Structure 1
């Protein structure tokens, strides 16, 4: 009797383990997606460098972190495209006061809002989309470029995470 109880335990353990492995194996892009084209995002902001900065970060990280090869738009299995909707720099984030109780900003933040989608060009299906994605970066006075890089890095991280967990 003890022997059959041990066998039952092993069978149930095996089924449980198989179920867990199946559950954790999900995510990622479909297996036929091997190449990607990252398109320059439309830029509806007055900040002209945003488009290029985001494009460069996206191309580097999509290839390195998702393991996809870059391809021309017409030959790629998937495309990443989007629109930069808003760029709000110079938002006071931290203050200090001098002897005369004059408050001055010591840290600022900026916000970037955009729409993004990843499209499977083989099927025409949208694999992942995010409308109104908002990211922030903080920076010291007169260091806006640092805050912009921080916010754009967060945007790219969100897109990569979305692509990896889209199922």
Structure 2
């Protein structure tokens, strides 16, 4: 009887382990795509110069992810990421208790579209439409406060875009 139970346990363990064969953590890359370049980000919003921070965050995220090698030149890349920023929103979300018309906390939201294209054919391999946001406290002036909050929003949109583009494979 004990021998049968041991045999059944071994059989169950074998079935469970063979069911996981071929499973990988993370996405798989399409054949022939090992390097990627980031095209200059297109800013279609009214907020000036945010594309610079987004480009920096995208490059940083690709390097952190490690599944693709980042190259500077599109001609050296197997694929290119093209991003267009479509919206920049600034909304007050909390107001001071003593002056109910004066915002204390703001939320900045940056929306955009990204496409991963094969350089050789121009074919879109994957696309992503997403947003990144950050909450910040109003300090002495709104311009400085927005500038301080931008890296967090840029980092979030870059993370979501890169993850979306790579995980679609």
TM bin, normalised by shorter chain, reads 0.7 to 0.9
Q: Tell me the residue number matched to 1:83.
A: 84
Give the counterpart of 2:137 among 123, 136, 140. Answer: 140
RMSD: 2.4
Q: Map residues 63-74 of structure 1 onto 2, 5 A cutoff.
A: 63-71=63-71, 72-74=73-75
Unmatched 5+ residue regions in structure 1?
none
Give the counterpart of 2:115 among 93, 103, 117. Answer: 117
Q: Is the Cα contact below 8 Å between 2:88 and 2:108 reproduced in 1?
A: yes
Which is worse superposed, 152-161 or 118-127?
118-127
Task: Return the TM-score normalized by structure 2.
Answer: 0.81
Assess, with a 3 A threshold, how the Cα gap between structure 1 residues 55 and 97 changes in structure 2: closer, same or farther: same
Q: Map residues 26-105 of structure 1 onto 2, 5 A cutoff.
A: 27-30=27-30, 32-71=32-71, 72-89=73-90, 91-98=91-98, 102-105=100-103
- Once the two structures are TM-superposed, the CA of residue 52 in structure 1 deviates from its matched residue by 1.1
Q: Is the Cα contact below 8 Å between 2:35 and 2:69 reproduced in 1?
A: yes
Unmatched 5+ residue regions in structure 2?
none
Moved over 6 A (4+): none
Which is worse superposed, 40-49 or 11-20?
11-20
CA distance in 2, matches of 1:24, 1:12: 22
Q: Is the Cα contact below 8 Å between 2:132 and 2:155 reproduced in 1?
A: no
- Once the two structures are TM-superposed, the CA of residue 135 in structure 1 deviates from its matched residue by 2.3
Task: Return the TM-score normalized by structure 1.
Answer: 0.82
* Deviations 1:119-160 (CA, angstroms, capped at 9, x unpaired): 2335655333123x1222111113101222211111011023
User: Is residue 15 of structure 2 the alignment partner of residue 15 of structure 1?
Assistant: yes
- Once the two structures are TM-superposed, the CA of residue 104 in structure 1 deviates from its matched residue by 1.8
CA distance in 2, matches of 1:117, 1:54: 15
